[in-house]
Amino acid sequence: MNPYDFVRIDWKRPPERREPVWHHKVVGTDTALYAGSLEVEVEALTPFFISDPRNVSPDPKRPAQFIHNVAQRAGNPVTYIIPGSSLKGLLRSVVETLGNGCLTLYDGTYERNKINYRQKVPTAFQHCDSRTEMCIACRIFGMLKERTRGVFLGKVNILSVDGPIRNGGVTNRYIEPLDYGTKFHFRVDFTNLEADEFAALLLAVTLTPEMHHKLGYGKPLGLGSVQLTPTSLTLVDYKTRYRQIGSNRGKTVLDGESLQQLRDELVNAFNQKQLVLIAIQDLQRIWQWPPEPDVDYYYPSKRDWFDTQESIGKRIADTRNVPW
Ligand SMILES: [Zn+2]
């Protein structure tokens, strides 16, 4: 993975914004809203590492630990965890990128309050700040804005269900990543998702077969490739849920082929209308799996390299022979 690589923005297509739909607002209409939960397995394809902010050793020689839960009582096993917030952040950034979301990163002042990035972003692409006009990423994952009236908690919640029991990982001097093959499970609970929102969520989880997510630290070093596989989808139909007694109460469980079929139907419709083509092309290159063999990426040793006449403003591919 090239640490200097970026996904392009299609400046001709600003985010499409609308008010988030809820059941109580669509009574009597035919708008299908999806509610339920999706079980997902995470498998590490390379060693990967997420640090534990509560467990940072002041001794730089002691390796940093992968985040794990704290055993409540002596004798209870300690298990590694991927925080739900990390998974939510990962899926949100995929939806923002592929589904034409607003630019949440360039929203505010940076570099000791010297630069206001919000003003540098064209208005049509700025971070949503109204509850009645929200992009697809803010409708799904929520929008928390201090300076405006806009607080919306979103329609999904991600629970880290379980991870492996602690038994040591691959150790180097500074961090203790978990080895490839390590598996975790998480669950995405969702409610009131419109078809395109549900499709964007499914696409963010499944991507395309030639690419896999990157999660955690050390991505330029080749760490953090993970494969997300949905194992089971439970859909709840609230229209029938309270009318049926003693039956499945409006619940439908899909897995294997039936899950894949629904995913393909929804995602294909989404891809035709809403997918940002240049974004998926770029992300496929960056998250390509398996990675290109025999290619090493590394940072130039001196910061000056970025400012030399041969490097400044150039595409990475065109700087291959610039000495540093
Ligand atoms: Zn937004």
* Strands 213-214 and 109-110, bridge-based pairing: unpaired
Between CA 171 and CA 47 the distance in angstroms is 10
The pair of structure tokens assigned to 14 is 């600003």
pTM for this model (two decimals): 0.86
Q: How far is the CA of 134 from the centre of ligand 1 (A)?
A: 5
Give the range among 34-48, 80-94, 178-192, 230-244 with minimum mean pLDDT: 230-244
Q: How far is the CA of 137 from the centre of ligand 1 (A)?
A: 6
- What confidence score (pLDDT) does residue 316 get? 72
> Is residue 34 very low, low, confident or very high in pLDDT (cuts 50, 70, 90)?
very high
Mean pLDDT over 258-278 rounds to 97
pLDDT at 246 over 80: no
pLDDT at 256 over 90: yes
Most confident range (mean pLDDT) of 51-60, 77-86, 223-232 is: 223-232
Q: How far is the CA of 95 from the centre of ligand 1 (A)?
A: 10
Give yes or no for a cis peptide into 209 (omega within 30° of 0): no
DSSP 124-185: GGBPP-BTTBB-HHHHHH-EE-SSSS-EE--SEEEEEEE-PBP------SSB-PBPTT-EEE
Between CA 246 and CA 244 the distance in angstroms is 7
Find the farthest-apart pair of alpha carbons in the chain and give their distance in angstroms, rounded: 74
pLDDT at 23 over 70: yes
Please write the tens of the pLDDT for every residue from 60-94: 777 788 888 876 667 777 788 899 999 999 999 99
Q: How far is the CA of 20 from the centre of ligand 1 (A)?
A: 11
Q: How far is the CA of 198 from the centre of ligand 1 (A)?
A: 16
Q: How far is the CA of 138 from the centre of ligand 1 (A)?
A: 4
Please write the tens of the pLDDT for every residue from 106-164: 777 776 777 787 788 899 999 998 889 999 999 999 987 665 666 889 999 999 888 88
Q: How far is the CA of 155 from the centre of ligand 1 (A)?
A: 14
Q: How far is the CA of 284 from the centre of ligand 1 (A)?
A: 23
Between CA 207 and CA 228 the distance in angstroms is 9
pLDDT at 168 over 80: no
- What confidence score (pLDDT) does residue 247 get? 65
Contacts of 155 (CB under 8 A, 6+ apart): 20, 139, 140, 141, 142, 190, 191, 192, 193, 197
Cβ atoms 125, 9 nearer than 8 A: yes
